[in-house]
Amino acid sequence: MTLQEASMLQPILKQLSEKEGELSAERVLDVFREQRVNVNGRLVFNNIEVIPDENRFIFHFKKDGETLVKSVTAEGPIEAALMLMREIGMPVELVKYRQLVVPEKDKLWAGRGLSRIVLKANGEEVEGRGVSSDTLKANMRALFGGVNLLYKKA
Taking the C-alpha atoms of residue 115 and residue 98, their distance in angstroms, rounded to an integer, is 6
- Alpha-carbon distance of 99 to 88, in angstroms, equals 26
CATH number for domain 37-150, candidates 3.30.70.3460, 3.30.160.270, 3.30.70.580, 3.30.300.210: 3.30.160.270
Domain boundaries, the chain: 1-36, 37-150
CA distance 138 to 134: 6
Span 24-44, pLDDT tens digits: 777 776 777 776 666 778 999
Strand, coil or helix: what is 31?
helix
pTM higher than 0.85 for the full model?
A: no
pLDDT tens-digit series, residues 105-132: 777 777 788 899 999 999 999 999 998 9
Starting at the edge strand that comes first in sequence, how are the strands of the sheet with 113-121 ordered?
Answer: 93-101, 113-121, 124-132
Residue 117: what pLDDT?
95
